[in-house]
Amino acid sequence: MNIRRLLAAAGITITGLLGMSVVTPVAAQASTTYVYDVYHYQVCQRQGHFGASFYNPWDPGSWYCYDLSVPLGVTWAGGLDINGWCAEKYNGTHAELTSGDVWGWRCIKRV
């Protein structure tokens, strides 16, 4: 009875090891990446503001939306929702920074 158990245990172990050695890795599938430009003024207009600007060309987070006010004034209106704009404009995309300046924002979709 004990020998049967030992053989069964050894058989399971050997089968398990052989099964693992026979398994081959699945080749990675090629993926496609779609890259779209971000139009910052459109991002702000989607948020209900007049336009977009930035205060530091080397800081990608320095974009802001602004509104025009009377008489001839400019009012700071807040930050940009680039990720939301990308998802709405190009279905299934998200915002990614591709370089270290204000023009580095892109909408990216990997398939």
Strand partners, 66: 51, 76
The structural domains of the chain, with segments of one domain joined by +, span: 27-110
Angle in degrees, CA 48, 51, 57, rounded to 5: 135
Q: What are phi and psi of 66, to 5 degrees?
A: -140, 160
Query: Largest Cα–Cα distance of the chain, in whole Å?
Result: 98
Residue 77 · residue 65 · CB < 8 Å: yes
- What's the N-to-C CA distance of the chain in angstroms? 56
Using CB atoms within 10 A of its CB, is residue 80 exposed (0-12), middle (13-18) or buried (19+)?
buried
Strand partners, 108: 35, 94
Tens of pLDDT, residue by residue over 38-51, are 999 999 999 999 99
In tens digits, the chain (111 residues) has pLDDT values of: 454 444 444 444 433 333 333 444 455 566 899 999 999 999 999 999 999 999 999 999 999 999 998 877 888 899 999 999 999 999 999 999 999 999 999 999 998
Q: Which of 66, 85, 63, 62 is nearest to 75 (CA)?
A: 66
pTM: 0.68
